[in-house]
Amino acid sequence: MKFAAIDVGSNAVRLLLSRVDSGGVEPIYEKVSLVRMPIRLGEDAFVHNNISQEKISSLVSTMIAFKHLMDAYGPIDFMACATSAMREADNSDEIVSMIKKKSGIDLKVISGRKEAKIIYSNRIEKIVGSSDSTYLHIDVGGGSTELILFKGSNVFAYRSFNIGTIRMLEGIVTKKDWNEMKSWVKSVTSKNAPEHAIGSGGNINKLFRMSGRKDGTLLMAEDIKDLNNYLKGFTLEQRITKIGLRPDRADVIVPASKIYYSVMNWGNINYMHVPQLGLADGIIHVLYKKHKESYI
C-alpha cells in the first residue's frame, strides 16, 4: 500500500512518500522519497503572529508541487498536517483555504497534543527493540518541543511546550518557559524513571551523524553536549563553509542541541535512540492503521 504525508512545520515543509508491506507478521514501512522545502513559517508566525504574503506564496507553490508529485506516485491515501507556526498565525484559516483552492489539499492545523499523539503512532518501542523499558521521547521542532513518557503502549505523560529552535533564535523563549519544561520533566521522570531517551527531528538526526556513532547504536547525552560546544565555536558562516551544514540547518542545530541535552539532563538520562522518525512517519502509521481497520 502506498501512502503520502505532508508536514507543514515551523522550519520546513516536508513531503514523505512511503510504501507499507503488510504481508509479514509485522508491517514493513519503506520511505520511497522525502522532499523538504525550508520555508520557515515560524520566522513570521512567532514574531508577528502573521505569515507574510511572500511566505504564503512559497507555501502555496510548494503544496501545488507536492500535489503533482503525489498524483504521479499514486498513494491510496494522504494526510497533510500543520504544526506550531500555523497554530499561532492569525491568518492560518485564510492560508488553509487558499491551499485547498489552489492545490486541492485539505491541510489540517493540529494541536500540540495531537502532534505528540501522531508522533507516538510510530510505535518506536518496536523499532528500538524493547517494550519493557520506559522511554522519554523528545521531538524538537522550530516552534515546539513534544515530550512523551511511555512504556510499551502505556503512555505515562505527554506535553507540548512552546520551546523550539526558531523561537530561540528569535529570542522569544523566556526563563519561565524553560523552568516550566524543566519542572515537568523532573516531575514525570521522578515517578517513572526512563532508561533511555528517543530523539526525533531533523536536528537530532544530523547530530547523530556528526557524532560518528554507528547506525543502531546509542547517542550519549555527553555527545550532544560536546557537539553543542563544538558548534558554538564557529560562526554561522563557518558552520556552512567549514563544517558543511546546510544554511537552514546551520543556525537551528545549536538551539536544538541545547534543548535535547537539557531535557536529558533534567531527566537524568544518559543515552538516546535516534531512529530517524518524525511527524510525517507518524502520519503514515496513522493512515495505514485506518486502512487496515477498514478491511476488517
Residue 218 is given by DSSP the state P
Helix, strand, coil content of the chain in percent (nearest 5): 50, 25, 30
How far is 296 from 292, CA to CA, in rounded Å?
7
CATH code of the domain made up of 128-277: 3.30.420.150
Percent of the chain residues past pLDDT 90, beyond the cut = 83
pLDDT at 22: 83
How far is 158 from 225, CA to CA, in rounded Å?
24
Q: What is the pLDDT of residues 32-48, one digit of tens each?
A: 999 999 999 999 999 99
User: Cell 497533510 belongs to which residue?
Assistant: 80
CB neighbour class for 160 (10 Å; exposed up to 12, middle 13-18, buried from 19): buried
Tell me if domain 2-113+280-295 and domain 128-277 are identical in fold.
yes
Q: What is the pLDDT of residues 64-78, one digit of tens each?
A: 999 999 999 999 999
**pLDDT at residue 294 tops 80:** no
CATH code of the domain made up of 2-113+280-295: 3.30.420.40
Q: What is the pLDDT of residues 159-178, one digit of tens each?
A: 999 999 999 999 999 999 99
User: Cell 495505514 belongs to which residue?
Assistant: 288
**pLDDT at residue 152 tops 90:** no
Query: What are the structural domain ranges in the chain?
Result: 2-113+280-295, 128-277
In this prediction the pTM is 0.89
How far is 286 from 296, CA to CA, in rounded Å?
16
Which of 227, 230, 199, 172 is CA-nearest to residue 48?
Answer: 172
